[in-house]
Amino acid sequence: MVHPRALTRRLWDPDLAERERRLREVVTGNLTGVLETLLDEVPDGTRVTFNWYVRVTNPVLNLLGYVAERVYRHSHDSVMGKGEEGLRRYCARQASV
């Protein structure tokens, strides 16, 4: 797993028309790329979509990727699943307030 401090994030400033529905962050470090966050109104709230467009730029991590791909994938899937569970609990609490 890539340590969070190994990344630098820079928020991209969209024009006014996009500001309320699209955020874009440029990521550099062990990973290089863009995180795009889209916000769409839906009848019962807001749909949030995260699109990551990244590549690994650290040669050591690239080499390890060939050997440890399953471990990386499992770690990533576990973190994402727990994050989704936590976000669902948080949203449920907020909806009941």
Cα distance between residue 75 and residue 69, in whole Å: 10
**Residue 88 in this model has a pLDDT that exceeds 80:** yes
**Confidence at residue 10, expressed as pLDDT on a 0 to 100 scale:** 57
Q: Which residues pair with 27 in a beta bridge?
A: 9, 33
Q: What is the mean pLDDT of residues 26-44?
A: 85
Q: What is the mean pLDDT of residues 39-50?
A: 85
Measured at the CA of 25, the angle between CA 64 and CA 6, to 5 degrees, comes to 35
**Confidence at residue 85, expressed as pLDDT on a 0 to 100 scale:** 92
Question: What contacts 24+ positions apart, CB below 8 Å, involve 63-69?
Answer: none
Using one digit for the tens of pLDDT, what is the confidence trace for 74-86?
Answer: 888 898 899 889 9
